[in-house]
Structure 1
Amino acid sequence: MFKVNELVVYPSQGVGRVERVESQEIGGVKADFYIVRILSNNVTLMVPVANAKNVGLRSVCSLRVGQEIFESLKDRTGFTGYTGQNWNRRYREYSEKLKSGDLSDVAYVLKELFLIGRDKELSFGERRLLEQAMGLVSMELAYSVDRPQDAVKADINAMFADILEAQEEKD
């Protein structure tokens, strides 16, 4: 059970704050709901308390997990380079990972898209996924490691500075 004012993560939306827990009757059935305000866009969500785990609502990651995510972003081993894989298949895979709510999955998408950008220009859809992944990862890490989101974004961009510089030279 989450507490009022607790920071939580809602998959594909990002970090939010539990504003209150309220009971409502819907279709003759009374249920409790978390009222969560997403911090990045001020959207309010109603999440059934009984279904919170199933929809992926979870606490913000710990400092230790946040530091592990930073380390995983730095690690480029295992990336074999752009393979020309079907974009639609990759887009579906990445979209599912973003919706999973698992921070390591979202960080994987972020890193993969940065590294693919080293080998080819990202399409409009890929750039949108990259921006979404960057927003989700940087916001949660900012709360995890207690730093401003802009500083976390700057750190992540610095990890991939070589790729970003190469892309600017192409433009």
Structure 2
Amino acid sequence: MTKTKKSDFRPNDFVVYPAHGVGKIMSIEEQEIAGLKLELFVISFEKDKMTLRVPTHKATEIGMRSLSTPDVVTRALETLKGKAKVKRAMWSRRAQEYEQKINSGDLMAIAEVVRDLHRTDDQREQSYSERQLYEAALERLTREVAAVSGVDEAGAAKKVDDVLVSRAA
């Protein structure tokens, strides 16, 4: 078992939690749970008005990571320019794969979902579940782009949108 050094994540760091996206470490606190003293990261997901407490020794194991590097963000945005790769599997199977990619916390995988589910105005209508997955992936991507680029979410959304629109042109 790999034990995370306490110095890996610090209060005020932005981190990516696989199932919830970008959050901010508010503090590190100790709590006694079932007679054991546990050290916990207190992570706030402002957008979802949610606070998560993650045992510090489990953080890496569950896939919590630092923000992507600007280089990875650039590659993720490049991915959006690619041609959508849509498998000929049944929608339920594809939807499952998309959801796994979104919840993996991997920015490149999330960008692939955005690319594959993006529709231009003249393309066929999206189903409700398709739209839900697309919006979830888009929001995750946008939030991380915002946090890494140091711009607000509106600025990041425009950045992502410009790439998607330029692809369609």
Q: Same fold (TM over 0.5)?
A: yes
Q: Give the Å deviation of 1:113.
A: 0.5
CA separation of 1:113/1:104 partners in 2, compared to 1, >3 Å: closer, same or farther?
A: same
For 2:157 and 2:89, the matched residues in 1 are separated by: 28
The letter for the 1-side match of 2:63 is G
SS in 2 for 1:17: strand
Structure 1, 116-125 or 89-98: larger mean CA deviation:
116-125
**CA-CA distance at 1:29 after TM superposition:** 1.6
Alpha-carbon offset, residue 150 of structure 1: 1.2
CA-atom RMSD in angstroms = 2.3
Match for 1:59 among 54, 62, 66? 66
Question: CA separation of 1:163/1:126 partners in 2, compared to 1, >3 Å: closer, same or farther?
Answer: farther
The offset of 1:115, in angstroms, is: 5.5
**Within 2, Cα distance between the matches of 1:118 and 1:29?**
58
Structure 2: distance between partners of 1:151 and 1:5: 22
| 8 Å CA contact retained: 1:118, 1:163 | no
- Of 127, 134, 150, which aligns to 1:130? 134
Q: Note the residue ranges of structure 1 that are not aligned, 5 or more in a row.
A: 166-171
Percent same amino acid among aligned pairs? 30
Which has the higher mean CA deviation after the structures are superposed, 27-36 or 154-163? 154-163
Map of 1:19 onto structure 2: 26
The 3 A distance-change label for structure 1 pair 47 and 18 is same
d(CA) in 1 for partners of 2:107, 2:52: 20
Instruction: Structure 2 unaligned segments of length 5 or more: list them.
Output: 1-7
**TM-score between the two structures when normalised by the length of structure 1:** 0.84
> Residues 5-53 of structure 1, C-alpha deviation per residue, up to 9 Å, x if partnerless?
1111111312111111111111122111100001322310001111101
In the alignment, does 2:32 pair up with 1:32? no
- Give the whole-Å Cα distance in 1 for the aligned partners of 2:166 and 2:149: 25
Q: Distance in 2 between matches of 1:108 and 1:70?
A: 10
Secondary structure in 2 aligned to 1:55?
coil
After the TM superposition, which of the residue ranges 154-163 and 98-107 deviates more from structure 2? 154-163
Q: Which of 139, 146, 151 pairs up with 2:143?
A: 139
Query: Where has structure 1 moved over 4 Å in runs of 4 or more?
Result: 115-119, 162-165
Alignment-derived partner of residue 5 in structure 1: 12
Aligned amino acid, residue 100 of structure 2: E
Question: Where does residue 157 of structure 2 map in the other structure?
Answer: 153
| 1:106 maps to which of 101, 106, 110 | 110
The question of whether the paired residues in 1 share the 8 Å contact of 2:17 and 2:65 is answered with yes
